[in-house]
Amino acid sequence: MFATRFAPSPTGFLHRGHAFSALTAFRAAQAAKGRFVLRIEDIDATRCRPEYESAIFEDLAWLGLEWEQPVRRQSEHLADYEAALEKLRGQGLLYRCFRTRKQVAEEMLAAPHGPVEAFRGGPLHPNEEERMLEEDRPFAWRLSLDAAAERVGGFGRLSFYDNGKKVRANPALAGDVVLARKDVGVAYHLAVVVDDALQGIDHVIRGEDLAEATHIQRLLQALLDLPTPTYRQHRLLTGPDGRRYAKRDKAETLRDLRAQGVTAEQLRAELGFD
């Protein structure tokens, strides 16, 4: 059965861009007589707040959306992500990374063939790693793209459907991506891939700002033996100034609009959903 989802992080109030994204996925589920899932992506406890989560429920209900219950909250399922990490670790696909953000940035700039866009630093020498562990230095777990390529027999075999077109996955875009952060023990790409599979999501409909993420997520699906959903990226909504809505710009939130007397019907119509 067709199943799609909207997966916001409760790090701020929803704005028009979120409404557009949520409605796009919701209407697609309705048209296919399928499932619509709302997932709360709250692994980053330092940035997520309960009041933003309640606002998500309130704003989406106001907008006319209905979703399956119970809602999955990532923070309540860390054991699922740990099991996936363990699986990857057991296959020798992960390495510990003790570097700071600054060190990572410096290494990328000073790469042997000139600055690189994606980090491929590899593990420390075993003696050095032992020393860091003895000193209790915090570390992240990164995916080794070299080891991953070997495991799947080269990335050339990996593809996915994106807006109806078959696309070859290019996981190198993401580099040796962090799958378990130093602070929270898991990272976005891993949690999303595990959840999409566990929740039976077969259509991922999300903004084109996440188009690049699909490439590394496709690789993770292969490494974890998980099914690959079909992907559909929607355009990003832009404001009157031509720039896309973003939480950091304090874009007008759905609550602001509501307080100004805008009705859900008006907003839906403005966004092209009648």
Chain positions contacting ligand GLU, by CB under 6 A: 7-9, 41, 192, 206, 210
Nearest approach, Cβ of residue 49 and ligand GLU (Å) = 14
CB of 36 to ligand GLU, least distance (A): 14
C-beta closer to ligand GLU: residue 9 or 144: 9
> Which three-class secondary structure state does DSSP give residue 79?
helix
Nearer Cβ to ligand GLU (124/169)? 169
Cis peptide before 240 (omega within 30 of 0): no
Residue 15 or residue 96: which is nearer to ligand GLU going by CB?
Answer: 15
CB of 201 to ligand GLU, least distance (A): 10
- Residue 137 CB, shortest distance to ligand GLU, in Å, is 29
CB of 231 to ligand GLU, least distance (A): 10
Indicate the angle between helix axes 145-152 and 213-223, nearest 10 degrees: 60
* Choice between 107 and 202, CB closer to ligand GLU: 202
Identify which of residues 6 and 155 has a Cβ nearer to ligand GLU in the complex.
Answer: 6
**Euclidean distance between CA atoms 57 and 245, whole angstroms:** 20
